[in-house]
Structure 1
Amino acid sequence: MKKVKVSLQPIVSKINMPTVLKTAILPGDSIERLFIATQVGEIFYIGDGVIRTFLDVRPRIIKVGVSRGGYDERGLLGLAFHPDFYYNGLFYLHFSVAGTQGPGAIPGAPLESFKPNPCDSGTLNLRWTNREMYYDHIDTVEEWSLQPNGQPQRRRTLLNLRRPFLNHNGVNSLNFSPETGKLVLTTGDGGSGFDPFNLSQDNMEIAGKIIEIDVVKETRIYNPPVATRFNELPVPVQETLTVIAKGVRNVPGISFEKVYNRYIKYVGNVGQDLVESIFSFVHYKPIPVTQLVQASLGNSELDQEGLINLGWRGWEGAFPTTVIKGCAASPTLDEKTIAYYNEAVETSVRRLQPLISYFHKDPRPDRLGGTALTGVQAYLGNGIPGLTGSVVFTDLARDEGVHPPVRGFLAYARGQTDCKLNDFSIIETDYNFGSGSAYYVSLGTNLDQTRLYLGVYGSMKVADFNQGTVFEITP
């Protein structure tokens, strides 16, 4: 693939962890402005070269970074502007709610403690029980409105979701579909590792799904009950929801590319121990949640034709999900064992093949190993030669077997929809980060997808404050 070089032009620095980067035109304004949402709960926008506060919801968000040495995957996770935001002032937030800290779904167990043992069926069939007591936190999806006086005001809550673990809540998790006009929510599998309760493949679980929300439908329910399963939602709320996809581990958003009169959808799925993956699809048949619930109540077979299945937890991208152990006979090698053989078989035909899989360890001399996919965007501009019509993605930190300072990386691949596994190419950058670490934590674009923005943080810990810089990616 063609070598592409870009420049990183700093826009704003010394901000907190930038989780969402996207643009909008404020009502009554004439300029498209960049909005930056931070994980701790601030939303800024850039106007006339000055950074201004749009909304600060820090008091409403769970205190992040107080455990696990400052690392956290909760907080303000999603921001989306209504397609008619300029006229109606509506926008949407997804965040972890203050005061909802619980003991976790497996009390007393460290987050990384769960690992399936293919020789022990008990580890392959765990159940999340007593959910109202044993959970980590509650996430909420809210609708807000920008008032005529310029002040944002909360209008209603669309969903309240109880989450089993601290991690895998999604990020850049709210985006409007230009195809359907609906709000798309991407939910992670609930966290820990290896999806211990197999929530992502269970049709009734909200976790591990990509969901469309019809925000036009009026439910007259302004604060729905907290739920983990679709059948726990009131019927008027169920009627606003359809499911696009399941088999999700953790998704850094969804991106759309219009080609003639159809839309290609790009979805990244963060991997477990081996591989990061990006999927693409055009055609899908969303299943109304009311149908899912009726099929469950009647114990009847559900027509899942057209429902996208990313394959997790049986598959990690192009590979069956694998448990890795050190080889006693050779420290330089690893023993790799299929974690969930039966589930890999069951989902092998139904799952969508990835467009791109890139690896944590890649022996090829012209590739970098990755750690976690943090952003996926279709680029439709002509300003950066070589990237037009590509899908661009970011990884948190390259794994080159070297010591700090850490660097993330940018890469790209050509979009295609024939389900053939594609290759990728690293994008070279010219910015000198000096001796500090540079984790690539988010990727964003403007309204017509002709400009790209990169969020970089100097630490993996959200509790290390003011280490964020947002760049524009330029020729």
Structure 2
Amino acid sequence: MIKVKVSLRPIVSKLNLPTVLKTAILPGDSKEALFIATQVGEIFYIREGVIRTFLDIRPRIVKLGNSEPGVSPGGYDERGLLGLAFHPEFYYNGLFYLHYSVAGTQGPAALSEPFRPNPCDPRTLNLRWINRETQYDHIDTVEEWILPSNGQPEKRRTLLNLRRPFFNHNGVNSLNFSPETGKLVLTTGDGGSGYDPFNLSQNDMEIAGKIIEIDVVKNTFIQNPPVVTQFNELPVPIQETLTVIAKGVRNIPGISFQRFYNQYIKYVGNVGQVVVESIFSFVQNKTIPVTQLVQAFLMKSETDQEGFINFGWRAWEGAFPTATIMGCSANPTFDEKTIAYYNEAITTSVKRIQPITNYFHKDPRPGKFGGTALTGVQAYMGNGIPALTGSVVFTDLALKEESQSPARGVLAYTRIRTDCKLNDFNVIQTDYNFGSQSAYYVSLGTNLDQTRLYLGVYGSMNVTDFNQGTVFEIIP
């Protein structure tokens, strides 16, 4: 793959941590505006160089920076305003959608200490999430809002209320409309901790660890749905609005659609555990109506999942069986990787799809990098950077190199191979000088026709360190 060099052009700085970057055309307007959602609950838009506030829901957001037992306090958090999507007819109907963690819903978390699977201890492999009404971390909500023709945005209805077991793996850039079906796609995660302690991602009844489509045209006439963790707890009218696109999700930073003749290639990244970060693609996929899943559960039968997308987590981390690391104090390069869930890896091996590319947390090869966490995946269809046209661009939070200080994020790209085998990837060189400031690459966005790319950068890993964000456009 050829080496690509780009420039980063700052658009706006001194923002809070940017979680969503996307464009839309405001009702009555003629040009796209760039919308920026921040983790603390602000939504801004920039049009012709001027930044304005679109919506501020900070009072509705859970108090950020108070994370789990066993996690050092100080502001690292994965909750907040995580998703923003504009209805395909937003220009005409003013409808848009939000996904966020709700203020005042903080709980004690589902486990009192960090989880680690032990292949020799069956108890750690068969944990169940019990007492869910009291043992949880917070509640996430998905809402429909409207921008009236002459007023301020206002909430119309709640689509889902989800109880989450831990503070992390709630998804980011988690709401997008499918150009294929016109439905709202929710990409979240397995609920958090690490290693998916309760194996929620492979359980068909669990909402966690799935990609879900919501038919927003169907009105359930339920203004405030119950707070749930499983599909079978939802009222039937809400079940009827939902289909499941995929399972085996650890944590997804959004979904990207790339038009290819008369169909769409879907791209998603699955954030890794200890070995590898993975990007998947699929074109044809079987979706399963939630009513069908619930019916099979009640009848104690299996749904036919031939052709259904399964990313393989928690048994598989990308192309590899999920590992736990046994440290070699004498020489960390020889750290031993032990398969965490051997039996599950066997049973899931033929049901899962392979990633189109992997990149590692440690990679000694020249021209490669050790990554930390995938934070964005976008198809690029522009001609401005010809070497990237038709490719998949992705971002990683920060280089893993121990000597790397201050922190630097990574921009890279890959392509789909025609034989569908794993492809290589290349780092995209950037010429921007961040000086002595840390630069975590926290989000990646695009405009409506995917001809422009936007990068969100933050100067700290802590959401409680305010106003350290910059949004760039990636240019030739």
TM-score range, shorter chain: over 0.9
Describe the superposition over 1:2-40 as per-residue Cα deviations: whole angstroms up to 9, x where unpaired: 110000000000000000000000000111000000000
Find out whether 1:104 has 2:105 as its counterpart: no
Match of 2:21 in 1: 21
How far the C-alpha of 1:253 sits from its partner, in A, is: 0.3
How far the C-alpha of 1:415 sits from its partner, in A, is: 2.7
Q: 1:4 to 1:103 in 2, by over 3 A?
A: same
What is the CA–CA distance in structure 2 between the aligned matches of 1:48 and 1:454, rounded to whole Å?
18
What is the CA–CA distance in structure 1 between the aligned matches of 2:376 and 2:452, rounded to whole Å?
14
What is the CA–CA distance in structure 2 between the aligned matches of 1:331 and 1:269, rounded to whole Å?
26
What is the CA–CA distance in structure 2 between the aligned matches of 1:306 and 1:332, rounded to whole Å?
39
What is the CA–CA distance in structure 1 between the aligned matches of 2:132 and 2:59, rounded to whole Å?
26
The SS at the match of 1:44 is strand
Match of 1:88 in 2: 93
Match of 1:2 in 2: 2
Match of 2:243 in 1: 242
Residue correspondence of structure 1 range 377-392 to structure 2 within 5 A = 377-392=378-393
How far the C-alpha of 1:331 sits from its partner, in A, is: 4.3
How far the C-alpha of 1:121 sits from its partner, in A, is: 0.4
TM-score normalised to the size of structure 2? Answer: 0.98
What is the CA–CA distance in structure 1 between the aligned matches of 2:333 and 2:380, rounded to whole Å?
40
The SS at the match of 1:272 is coil
For 2:252, give the aligned amino acid: V
Match of 1:373 in 2: 374
For 1:5, give the aligned amino acid: K
The SS at the match of 1:463 is coil
Find out whether 1:138 has 2:139 as its counterpart: yes
Match of 1:223 in 2: 224
Match of 2:188 in 1: 187
Gaps of 5+ in 2: 68-72
Describe the superposition over 1:41-72 as per-residue Cα deviations: whole angstroms up to 9, x where unpaired: 00000023111000000001101113421100
The SS at the match of 2:297 is helix
Residue correspondence of structure 1 range 119-134 to structure 2 within 5 A = 119-134=120-135
Gaps of 5+ in 1: none
The SS at the match of 1:276 is strand
What is the CA–CA distance in structure 2 between the aligned matches of 1:252 and 1:416, rounded to whole Å?
23
The SS at the match of 1:386 is helix
What is the CA–CA distance in structure 1 between the aligned matches of 2:96 and 2:452, rounded to whole Å?
22
Native 8 Å contact 2:136 2:165 kept in 1: yes
Equivalent pairs, count: 471
The SS at the match of 1:98 is coil
What is the CA–CA distance in structure 2 between the aligned matches of 1:60 and 1:276, rounded to whole Å?
32
Find out whether 1:32 has 2:32 as its counterpart: yes
Describe the superposition over 1:295-340 as per-residue Cα deviations: whole angstroms up to 9, x where unpaired: 0000012111221000000000011000012124544420110000
The SS at the match of 1:210 is strand
For 1:11, give the aligned amino acid: I
Identity %: 80
The SS at the match of 1:130 is coil
Native 8 Å contact 1:280 1:416 kept in 2: no
Match of 1:354 in 2: 355
Match of 1:159 in 2: 160
The SS at the match of 2:388 is coil
What is the CA–CA distance in structure 1 between the aligned matches of 2:183 and 2:310, rounded to whole Å?
20
Match of 1:461 in 2: 462
Native 8 Å contact 1:292 1:302 kept in 2: yes
For 1:369, give the aligned amino acid: G
Native 8 Å contact 2:244 2:290 kept in 1: yes
The SS at the match of 2:412 is strand
For 1:32, give the aligned amino acid: E
Native 8 Å contact 2:32 2:47 kept in 1: no
